[in-house]
């Protein structure tokens, strides 16, 4: 084996290593973007959960003021949802 073929092999390995380095950097950038997106989404979800809790408290207070049993309403909705799900599965 001559020096020419060894040099070609070394160059090929160097080219492959350079391509892999670029791909690793691209993946690193994509991962950082993904982490940022996940953090933003988590913040939004936390805010939505807080708003939902506030809305639920207001609705329950209004319902109580008007004499509506919120637990029975929730149970009825859950039962309807369960029956709708069962129907969808059986179709």
pTM of the model: 0.61
Tens-place pLDDT, residues 32-90: 999 999 999 999 999 999 999 999 999 999 999 999 999 998 899 988 887 777 677 77
Tens-place pLDDT, residues 3-48: 678 889 999 999 999 999 999 999 999 999 999 999 999 999 999 9
- Classify the C-alpha dihedral 18-22-25-27 as positive or negative: negative
Helical H segments across the chain, by residue range = 3-65, 70-90
What 3-state class would DSSP assign to 12? helix
């Amino acid at each position: 084996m001559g020096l020419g073929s060894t040099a070609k092999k070394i160059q090929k390995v160097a080219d492959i290593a350079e391509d892999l380095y670029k791909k690793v950097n691209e993946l690193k950038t994509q991962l950082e973007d993904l982490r940022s997106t996940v953090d933003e989404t988590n913040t939004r979800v936390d805010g939505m959960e807080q708003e939902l809790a506030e809305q639920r408290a207001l609705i329950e207070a209004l319902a109580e003021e008007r004499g509506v049993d919120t637990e029975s309403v929730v149970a009825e909705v859950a039962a309807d949802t369960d029956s709708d799900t069962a129907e969808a599965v059986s179709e």
